[in-house]
Amino acid sequence: MKNRMIYQMKNKVRNLTYFLLLIGGTALTQSCSYLDVVPDKIGTIDNSFTNRNEAEKYLNTCYSYIPGNDSPYNNVALMGADELWSYYPLTPYNDFGPWKIALGRQNVNDPLCNMWYVYYRGIRDCNIFLENVSDMSKVGDLTPSMRKRWLAEVKFLKAYYHFCLFRMYGPIVIADDNLPISATPEEVRKKREPVDKVVQYIVDLLDECLEDLPRVISNKGSELGRVTQIANLTLKARLLVTAASPLFNGNKDYANYVDKDGEHLFNSTEDPTKWDTAIAACEAAIEASQDPELGLELYSYKSNLILSDETKCQLSIRNSVTEKWNTELIWGLSSRSDAHLQSLCMTRVGAYPNNMWGGQEMLNPTMEATNLYYTKNGVPMDEDKTWNYADRFKVKMHTNEQPYELASYYETIQMNFDREPRFYANIGFDGCTWYQYNCPSDSEKDIWTAKNRAGQAQGKLGTNSYTTTGYWTKKLVSVTYEVTQSGYTTERFPWPEMRLTDLYLLYAEALNEKDDVNNRELAISYLDQIRARAGLKGIKESWDTYSKYPNRYKTQEGLREIIQRERAIELMFEGSRFWDLRRWKTANKVLNEKIHGWNFEGETPAEYYSQRTLYTLKFIAPRDYFWPIHQNDLVVNPKLVQNPGW
Rounded Cα gap, residues 576 and 495, in angstroms: 13
Q: What is the pLDDT of residues 506-565, one digit of tens each?
A: 999 999 999 899 999 999 999 999 999 999 999 999 999 999 999 999 999 999 999 999
**Strand 432-434, strand 410-413: pairing:** unpaired
626 Cβ contact list (under 8 Å, min separation 6): 168, 169, 170, 643
* pLDDT band per the 50, 70, 90 thresholds, residue 20: low
Rounded Cα gap, residues 78 and 63, in angstroms: 21
Percent of the chain topping pLDDT 90 = 80
Intrachain domains 45-75+112-294 and 295-609 with the same fold: yes
Reply yes or no on whether the pLDDT at 630 is more than 50.
yes
Reply yes or no on whether the pLDDT at 37 is more than 50.
no
* pLDDT band per the 50, 70, 90 thresholds, residue 185: confident
Rounded Cα gap, residues 346 and 479, in angstroms: 11
Reply yes or no on whether the pLDDT at 440 is more than 70.
no
Q: By C-alpha distance, which of 238, 268, 242 is closest to 253?
A: 268
CA dihedral 431, 435, 436, 438 (to 10 degrees): 90
Which pTM does this prediction carry? 0.93
Count of residues making up the chain: 646
Reply yes or no on whether the pLDDT at 441 is more than 80.
no
Residue bearing the bigger pLDDT, 358 or 335: 358
Residue range 45-75+112-294, CATH number? 1.25.40.390
Rounded Cα gap, residues 82 and 70, in angstroms: 18
Reply yes or no on whether the pLDDT at 43 is more than 60.
no
CA dihedral 513, 518, 520, 526 (to 10 degrees): -110
CA 321 to chain centre: 12
Rounded Cα gap, residues 571 and 641, in angstroms: 34
Q: How many CA atoms lie within 13 A of 25 on its CB side?
A: 19
Cβ–Cβ < 8 Å for 439, 461: no
Give the residue extent of every domain in the chain: 45-75+112-294, 295-609
What is the per-residue DSSP string for 12-49?
HHHHHHHHHHHHT-GGGGS--GGGG---TT---TGGGG
Q: Collapse the DSSP code of 483 into the 3-class scheme (helix H, G, I; strand E, B; otherwise coil) and give the result.
A: strand
Reply yes or no on whether the pLDDT at 624 is more than 90.
yes
Check residue 3 and give its pLDDT. Answer: 42
Average pLDDT rounded to a whole number, residues 253-258 = 97
Reply yes or no on whether the pLDDT at 583 is more than 90.
yes
Check residue 293 and give its pLDDT. Answer: 96
Check residue 401 and give its pLDDT. Answer: 66
Q: What is the pLDDT of residues 84-126, one digit of tens each?
A: 999 988 888 889 999 999 999 999 999 999 999 999 999 999 9
Query: What backbone phi and psi angles, to 5 degrees, belong to 497?
Result: -65, -35
* pLDDT band per the 50, 70, 90 thresholds, residue 437: confident
Rounded Cα gap, residues 47 and 58, in angstroms: 11
Q: By C-alpha distance, which of 517, 542, 539, 519 is closest to 530?
A: 539
Check residue 21 and give its pLDDT. Answer: 58
Q: Which fold has domain 295-609?
A: 1.25.40
Reply yes or no on whether the pLDDT at 25 is more than 70.
no
Amino acid letter, 25: G
Check residue 357 and give its pLDDT. Answer: 87
Percent of the chain topping pLDDT 70 = 91
